[in-house]
Structure formats: C-alpha cells, structure tokens
Structure 1
Amino acid sequence: MEVTIERLGLHGDGIAPGPVYAPRCLPGETVEGEVVGTRLDAPRIVKPSTERVRAPCPHYKSCGGCALQHASDDFVSRWKQEIVRAALAARGITANPDGIETSPPRSRRRAVLSARRTKAGPFIGFHAPRSDAITRVPGCELLHPDLMKAIPALEALVETGASRKGALRLSVTLSQAGPDVSISGGKPLDRILASDLARIADEAGLARLTWDDETVALVAAPVQAFGNAMVTPPPGAFLQATAEGEAALLREARRAVGPAARVLDLFAGCGTFALPLAEGSEVHAVEGDAAMLACLDAGWRGAAGLKRVTTETRDLFRRPLVAEELNRFDAIVIDPPRAGAEAQMTEIAASNVSRVASVSCNPVTFARDSRLLLDAGYRLERLVVVDQFRWSTHVEIAAGFSRD
C-alpha cells in the first residue's frame, strides 16, 4: 500500500489519511508497505522529504532512545514550536514562541538505561522502538561523553548483580564528583554482593552507587551546583536533562520574576530555581518530597551570600497554597510534572501576585493552566520552547506572566 504523509503526530509518527501511522516518516513523503490495522511499521520511502537527513547515530534504526534523527534540526525546531502554538490555540490562546533553545548533541547528563545479563555478556542501552529488546549504543550521540565513559563500570555491575530472568533499570546522572548510579531490579542485596558492587564502584570512580534504594557505595558526594549552592540530591532524584536546558529555564525564570523581593517556588525539587534565585530574593520552596527539600535546605545552609530560603513539605495536588497564602509573595515560580497544576493555578489566578514564571514539560496541560491565568487578567509576556531532549518528541516550555 502506498500513502502520503500529511503531518506528524505528538509521538513523532507520520500520519497519512485513514489514519495510517508510519514511524520515522515526514510530512510530504510518499511511503509504501504493509498496513496492519492502522500501522505501517516498516515503511519504504518512495519519495523523501527535503527535510529528511542522514541520522548522525549508527544505532538509530535499532535504538529507541531517539525518535527524530531522520529530520533536519530546522524541521524539528519548527515542529516543536508548532506543537506549543496548537496546544495554546486549542484553549483559545494566540501566541507565538519567542524562539527555541536546543541542547547540543552529547549533552544529556541524566538518562535511564536498561540492561540484561546474557550468556554473551551484559547488554546495556535503550530499548528498541516498540520492543523489549535492548540496543547497545557505543558512540551514542545523545549522552554526555562522561556518562559514556561509565558504561564499562555499568557492565561490570550488571554482570555481578543481575539475574538472567529480568531487566535492570539504571538511572545514571552526571555529578561534579562523577556518575551517580541508581540500579533497580537486580539480585537481592547481601553482604557479599554489596562488597562486590562497592569494589566496582570504587575502582570505576563512581560517585555513588545505590542498589534497590540502598546506598552500597559513596566514594564522593554526587553534588550538583545550583547557582552558588552545592546540593547532593537523593538517589535517582529529578535533575534537568542537560546543563544547557537548565540554564535556559533558569534564565527565563529570572526574567519573569524580575526584581521581586519575595519569591515562591512551587514544585521546587532540590532547588534548581530556588537556590539561584536566592542570590537576589528571599525564597520559600514548596515540594512534596521531604528528602529533596532536606537536600535543598542543606545546600542553602552551606552556601555563602544567599538570602533567606525556607522550605515546606506539601502535596500541592491535594493541598495547593490558597490565595491568602500566595499574597505574601511578589512572584511565583511553578514547575509541575506532566499533569500540570490546575488546582494550584486556580489559586494563583485568585491571588494578588503580579508575576508568574511557569515552566512545563507538557504543552497540553500548560495551555490549560495558562488559560486560568489569562482569564484572571494576566498577560503572557514571553514564551520560549526549551528542547533539552534533543531528537525526541518531548517539549518543554518556559513562560512569563504578569498583571498590574
């Protein structure tokens, strides 16, 4: 069957009339292949798009770590900005992004890898598209070179601690002291296994190794720099995917907050925004995870030259700060998970706070929550797309709102 791709879906598949979904195809391309149900899983390109490029990674065909290496950078940038425009338009909001900040190749400092121990040895990499098979990725164009250097150590850990029955999940984060590794799904930890794993971590220069939530090696504190503060996050804690992406989000948050004397940081995590903003403002950081807030507080107490930072452990989905509580602040930074923060945004809309920096990893919930602010009299002053998950379909947004 021969079809012509009309557009890309949110997951990066080409969509032809029917609809027919074809992976790794681009608008305007004519492709052919066998359609099963609504999918054409092995398309042959009959007429390629002018935006099609040679994938820079030799593993692209078999690896599911990237989804858009077959498209030019310009195309991906335009497409991601259009996703944001369309999500806003669906809520009756007309706005154009003020550009896009794209992280460079080999800049991902945080990744979740899969691994198995087989008769042929350990396999570590990303899952193949729509498959449980694991693709090894030597020379990966996505991961930071210092993470790639840790692969031999990860292989030794898998060989030592994995059973033959299931896959391991490896969360690997680059810290200033070296890779911070958290592994789940391996053998039950006993004294001998813990000793063997700790020896591998020490010899490889891993900063920290956590095995099923138990720290078995701490060679050096896996610190992250948030402004002038040095923070040691809990194992597997959230961190922005690239240093470049974090810098772009922080720059937009600073712009939106302006010279506010008192700033509220909602969904504060370990202090990505709170601690740098404390260089010029008093900050109250609110987060549902007490362990992350404890790390934020320790980082603040160990830093010089910061203004007062206070913390509050609170489930902002079940118990958002109400308008009366919000009115104590001059500006708000909010960075919720993909579900957005509808309940909290409703309270912000009812408050007297004049400036809001909104960071989002989901254009659909961002548009929904933005509508609440605009209906309450806020203006959308600036909107930037931040693409720190290069070659993926993931889209992040940093926006500034204000009202008199």
Structure 2
Amino acid sequence: MTQQFTINRLGHQGDGIADGPVYIPRTLPGEVVSGTLVGQLLEDMRVETPSDQRVKAPCRHYKACGGCQLQHASDAFVADWKVGIVRAALSAQGLEAPMRPIHTSPERSRRRATIAVRRTKKGTLAGFHGRASDTITEIPDCHLLDPALIAAIPVAESLALLGGSRKGVLAVTLTLSEGGLDIAVSGGKPLDGPLELALAQATEKHGLARLSWDGEVIAMRQPPVQRFGIAGVIPPPGAFLQATKDGEQALTQAVLEATQGARRVVDLFAGSGTFSLPLAQEVEVHAVEGESAMTQALDQGWRKATGLKRVTCEARDLFRRPLMSDEFKGFDAVVLDPPRAGAEAQVAELAQAQPPVIAYVSCNPITFARDAKTLVDAGYALEWVQVVDQFRWSSHTELAARFVLNPAR
C-alpha cells in the first residue's frame, strides 16, 4: 500500500527522517514523498512535493552508486547542513562556538579511493558498492575522483585477473603520489612465487610507483612521495592520508593558525607527518603516533628535508597509553587529530596538564563535542571552529578547532 510522508529533517547519515521514524534516503526537509513502507524504510520512493533546495544530481551514477549521499541537494544546503551538524553536536553538550565559513573541496579532487573489484565469467567488474549493498556499480564518469584515479581503474581490474578470487572481492586502494600511482591491494590470493612475479611484471607494465599486496610491498619503481609542507614522505602502504590535497591544505592552515606563536608543539596521532612537518618550518615538534611504520616514514621525511626545525618521533598507542599530564611540560601548544573514536583518555590528561593552546582536528563532530566539553569544563575557551568538507556530497563532516586556556577562570 502506498503511503505519504513529510520529511522533517536529515539524520547524520544524510537520510531524510519522517514521523515514525521512517528513514528515506535522497530526500530533503519539507519534501512530501510516497512509497511502500517496509519496516522503517520506504521503498519505491517518489517525490511528490520537492524542496526548492533539490537539484539534478551532476553524476549519472548517483542512483546506483553508494559513494555519495547528497548530490540531490544544492551546494548551499549541504554546506549549511554540515555546519549545522557541528553546531548541534556542540549544543548537545551545552556548548557553542564561532563557526567559520565552511571550506569545501572541489569536485574531481579525491586523490585516493578504494575500488571494489570482482572477477566474473566475462572478466571483471570494478567500482563502488551500491548503498547498503554488495552490488558493484561501475563509475567511469565519477564526479568525486581525480581523473587520474578513474584512468587507473583498468589497472585494478588487471590485478584482479592476476590475483583475485571468483568467490571474493578485491579491495584495491588507488593513491596518487609524486612518483605515480601507489596501489595497495587486500583480499587477494595468498602470495606465491608465480603470483609475485606476475604482480612485479604488472608493476612495470603499468608504470606504477609502488604495488603492495596484503601489506607486503611487491615492487617499487619510484618512491610514492607525499608532500607535507616542504618535506617529502613515503608513507607505508595503505597509511592514512587526507582525502584531498585541497582539504589537507585547509586543515593544515587552520592548525598553523591555531598554534601560531608557539615554540614547541606536540602532535598527537601524528600519522606520517601531515601537520608535524609543516609545523616544523617554524617550531620544534614532538610527533606521537601508534603505528611505528608511520613514525619511521615521518622521521625519514624530516631527515631528508632541509630548513626544518627539530622533529622527534615516538611510536605509542595513545588509546592504551595516552601522554600523561606531566609529559606536556615544555610544550606550549598541542595538536590533536584522533580517529573517529575521538581521544577521551588523552583529553582527560590534557585537561589536567592545561597547555595554553590545543588545535583539535576531528572527523567526527559527536566525539569532538564530547572531548570539547571536557576541555571547556577544565577552563578552556573554544575560540573558533572551521568545518572542512573533503568528502563532497557525502554525510562525512570534518573540522579543525582552537582551544585556548581561559585565564579568567
């Protein structure tokens, strides 16, 4: 039976939410939609009364592909919605802060993507998974990815023919680097002599910078360098990297501004040096990261660069062993860039240590707001928040913020 619903708001995943609650993807607040209700989901959805913020999706793959959730909404709506998510998360903790205008990365600027590739009877199928589905949608005209990544999809398909299983799906992570295409594959057949030889030959044939197979480097023709400030770094295969160079520059600029005037900075969850190395152009940095391969890459990048101040590195699991309050002595600014879980234990130690300035970079407004509450309760002022939208047309929201110890407390 067909039913009608009015969309009240969007949830954090970008779905429209109607009374019930009923969850209806690719809708907008105020729209009247109809369809068949199955549990809490509306199937065969039809928009009866569209929002004035509804636009035609720019990408022809949008309906089938699960890579984007919000191409049906105007850019202005998405920008306001993402800033609103951060405001709401802070408000839920009793907080508010000045919000700077959102910075959105341009389309076709993603420098990294994980492509799903399956062998078929006729060859291969490569693309993104459909929404909440195992179905793979081909994406030759994707509006998210840098064109060089689109051009590399046939390479991913050729690797699946060499080492993919008909029963499984290969995850092929394609990353652009200064040395060329950096590919890390997972889910393939176990390595043996013939497969390793074939993969090494494929590296040469396709002119890849580096090819890794389930974490093991098969071949490296050119160093897959990523540039952080003036330093060139070779991250370990599959290591974390900001999604777009544009977004990385926006976050880096926010961190540099937040820590301006500091003499010694400690960078927590430092990765391979995204912020540590640009900071080192002006200040001494102690970089702490849980993955030793990443701290080694950071250290080598620093040693090969010229004109940087001293950078020291420490491999340490900050979830299990956060820096204790007395370890912050001598640092006048802290950079914090945790994963989606936030940094609850580490923030508790920061609240006791009370360094003058904290630059917090977050990919999860909910855990950021939780941690912000701890810092504000300890005497910090949340001076500003900068939302950065690297994941255009998705529900994903990132931000940078500056906390300053409040001398009036």
- 1:173 equivalent in alignment to 2:163: no
How far, CA to CA, are the matches of 1:38 and 1:104 in structure 2? Answer: 35
Superposition map of 1:2-401 within 5 A: 2-401=4-403
Q: 1:275-303 CA distances to partner (integer Å, 9 max, x unpaired)?
A: 11000000000011101000000000000
How far, CA to CA, are the matches of 2:177 and 2:89 in structure 1? Answer: 35
AA of the residue aligned to 2:374: L
Q: 1:3-53 CA distances to partner (integer Å, 9 max, x unpaired)?
A: 111100111111011111111111111110000111103311111111111
How much has 1:398 moved relative to structure 2?
A: 0.2
How much has 1:361 moved relative to structure 2?
A: 0.4
> Per the alignment, in what secondary structure is the counterpart of residue 350 of structure 1?
helix
AA of the residue aligned to 2:298: L
- Tell whether the 8 Å contact from 1:229 to 1:303 is kept in structure 2 after alignment: yes
How much has 1:73 moved relative to structure 2?
A: 0.5
How far, CA to CA, are the matches of 1:265 and 1:292 in structure 2? Answer: 13
How much has 1:96 moved relative to structure 2?
A: 4.1
How far, CA to CA, are the matches of 1:283 and 1:323 in structure 2? Answer: 18
How far, CA to CA, are the matches of 2:208 and 2:384 in structure 1? Answer: 41
Q: Which deviates further from its counterpart, 280-289 or 94-103?
A: 94-103
How far, CA to CA, are the matches of 2:208 and 2:328 in structure 1? Answer: 42
How much has 1:95 moved relative to structure 2?
A: 2.3
Q: 1:311-339 CA distances to partner (integer Å, 9 max, x unpaired)?
A: 11111111111111112201000000000
How far, CA to CA, are the matches of 1:266 and 1:388 in structure 2? Answer: 21
Q: 1:111-164 CA distances to partner (integer Å, 9 max, x unpaired)?
A: 112110001221111001111010000021001111112112111111221111
- Give the structure-2-normalised TM-score: 0.97
How far, CA to CA, are the matches of 1:76 and 1:213 in structure 2? Answer: 37
How far, CA to CA, are the matches of 2:190 and 2:382 in structure 1? Answer: 52
How far, CA to CA, are the matches of 2:230 and 2:399 in structure 1? Answer: 25
> Per the alignment, in what secondary structure is the counterpart of residue 230 of structure 1?
strand
How much has 1:350 moved relative to structure 2?
A: 1.1
How much has 1:103 moved relative to structure 2?
A: 0.4
How far, CA to CA, are the matches of 2:320 and 2:163 in structure 1? Answer: 39
- Give the structure-1-normalised TM-score: 0.99
- Tell whether the 8 Å contact from 1:361 to 1:394 is kept in structure 2 after alignment: yes
How much has 1:401 moved relative to structure 2?
A: 1.0
How far, CA to CA, are the matches of 1:365 and 1:354 in structure 2? Answer: 22
How far, CA to CA, are the matches of 2:316 and 2:66 in structure 1? Answer: 36
Identity of aligned residues (%): 59
Give the gaps of 5 or more residues in structure 1: none
- Tell whether the 8 Å contact from 2:97 to 2:383 is kept in structure 1 after alignment: no
- Tell whether the 8 Å contact from 1:31 to 1:45 is kept in structure 2 after alignment: yes
How far, CA to CA, are the matches of 1:326 and 1:216 in structure 2? Answer: 41
AA of the residue aligned to 1:4: T
AA of the residue aligned to 2:143: E
How far, CA to CA, are the matches of 2:387 and 2:72 in structure 1? Answer: 21
How far, CA to CA, are the matches of 1:148 and 1:303 in structure 2? Answer: 32
How far, CA to CA, are the matches of 2:204 and 2:189 in structure 1? Answer: 20
Over the aligned positions, Cα root-mean-square deviation in angstroms equals 0.9
How much has 1:201 moved relative to structure 2?
A: 1.9
How far, CA to CA, are the matches of 1:272 and 1:7 in structure 2? Answer: 36
Q: Which deviates further from its counterpart, 43-52 or 146-155?
A: 146-155
How much has 1:197 moved relative to structure 2?
A: 1.6
How much has 1:206 moved relative to structure 2?
A: 1.3
How far, CA to CA, are the matches of 2:161 and 2:77 in structure 1? Answer: 41
AA of the residue aligned to 1:102: T
- Tell whether the 8 Å contact from 1:117 to 1:158 is kept in structure 2 after alignment: yes
AA of the residue aligned to 2:29: P
How many correspondences in the alignment?
404
Q: Which deviates further from its counterpart, 176-185 or 236-245?
A: 176-185
How much has 1:352 moved relative to structure 2?
A: 3.5
